[in-house]
Amino acid sequence: MPVRRTGQRLGTVVLDELKERLLSGQYPAGSRISIEEVKAEFGVSKQPVMDAMRRLEAIGIVQIVPQSGCRVAHYTSQETLDFFNLFGRFEGEIAAAAATRRTDAQLEDLDDTWQRIADLEHATDTTARSRGYRFLNREFHLVIHHMAHSRVMAELSERMWDMSDFFINTIGGAQHLSDAVTNRNHDHDVIRSAIRSRNGEVARVAMQSHIVETVALFRDDLDKPA
Statement: residue 5 has pLDDT above 60: no
Determine the average pLDDT of the residues in 167-194: 90
Q: Which of 57, 25, 59, 51 is nearest to 156 (CA)?
A: 59
Phi-psi region of 62 (alpha: psi -120 to 50; beta: other; left: phi over 0): beta
Domain positions in the chain: 8-72, 77-221
Identical fold, 8-72 and 77-221? no
State pLDDT tens for residues 58-89.
999 999 998 778 999 999 999 999 999 999 99
Statement: residue 25 has pLDDT above 60: yes
Q: What angle do CA 161, 224, 52 make, to 5 degrees?
A: 40
pLDDT (0 to 100) of residue 127: 86
Domain 8-72 has CATH 3.90.180.10: no
pTM higher than 0.85: yes
Statement: residue 46 has pLDDT above 60: yes
3-state helix, strand, coil in the chain (%, to 5): 75, 5, 20
pLDDT classification of 36: cutoffs 50, 70, 90: very high
Pick the CATH number of 77-221 from 1.20.120.530, 3.40.1110.10, 3.40.50.300, 1.20.120.1200: 1.20.120.530
Q: Cβ(101)–Cβ(147) under 8 Å? A: yes
pLDDT (0 to 100) of residue 225: 53
